[in-house]
Amino acid sequence: MDGRERAVGGYWAGGMEAGGLGMGLLAAVTAVFCLLILAARPALAVDVNLTGRTNLTVAATNGSYDAARTALAAGDSANSRDGEGTPVLVMAAANDHLDIVTLLLDRGALISLTDQYGNTALATAAARGYADVVAYLLHHGAAVEALNKSGETPLIQAARLGNAAVVKLLLAAGANASTSDYTGHTAIDYAKQSRHPDIVRLLTAGAPVHH
């Protein structure tokens, strides 16, 4: 190998060493940055996993009051939603967790928030027959005639289920039995279709008769 070849070889060797050093430094800096992020993660206000669920959404679904209170104290919003857009208040109502519904409203949850189908917490509780949750939400001003994306009121959903206690609560709060959804069907129609004669009697007692 002559002098020129040795010079060229030395140039490439030096370049490779420098490049290796640069890549090593970059990897080290990246590793330190990742460690700093991981170290700071427990202090973050909202812990979100890969499904978009937070500590609060999990607590609202499972009914863990203490976990819900801890999540709120750590900074989770009472108006937060899961990855599908369902508010934590609707989750709590959907699972009959009155204590968590109470906690969320006390911490500023908006009672009018809806899920991806347009259902409020009241509509969700009514559709599942949770009378205690329905009564509490009505007492705190939930809109009794709120429509979801299908034009259904909470009363329509309760009538389809056939829960007399919930239907009575909604009627007492001013729900209109003659309100129809976007297909033109009323709560009375759904009660008849679902074969709930006791609900039909409740609904027709004060409802206008349509021919």
**Environment class of 57 (CB within 10 Å of its CB; exposed 0-12, middle 13-18, buried 19+):** buried
DSSP letter at 1?
-
Predicted confidence (pLDDT) at residue 17 exceeds the cutoff of 80: no
3-state secondary structure of 55: helix
How many residues would you count in the chain?
211
At 34, the pLDDT band (50, 70, 90 cuts) reads very low
pTM of structure: 0.74
Q: Token match 């009627």: residue?
A: 171
- Compute the half-sphere exposure of residue 44: CA atoms within 13 Å on the CB side of its CA: 13
Q: Under the phi-then-psi rule, with left for phi > 0, alpha for psi from -120 to 50, and beta for the rest, what region is 118?
A: left
Which of 127, 80, 122 has its CA nearest to residue 98? 122
Q: Which residues contact 142 (CB under 8 A, 6 or more apart)?
A: 111, 112, 120, 121, 122
Which of 187, 194, 209 has its CA nearest to residue 126? 187
DSSP letter at 209?
P
Q: Examine domains 48-110 and 113-211 and report if their fold is the same.
A: yes
- Enumerate the domain spans of the chain: 1-43, 48-110, 113-211
**CATH architecture type of domain 113-211:** Alpha Horseshoe (1.25)
pLDDT of residue 25: 55
Which of 108, 163, 116, 107 has its CA nearest to residue 135? 163
Higher-scoring residue by pLDDT: 84, 15: 84
First-to-final CA distance of the chain: 107
In the chain, % of residues over pLDDT 90:
71
**Environment class of 122 (CB within 10 Å of its CB; exposed 0-12, middle 13-18, buried 19+):** buried
pLDDT tens digits along 125-165: 999 999 999 999 999 999 999 999 999 999 999 999 999 99
**CATH architecture type of domain 48-110:** Alpha Horseshoe (1.25)
pLDDT of residue 28: 56
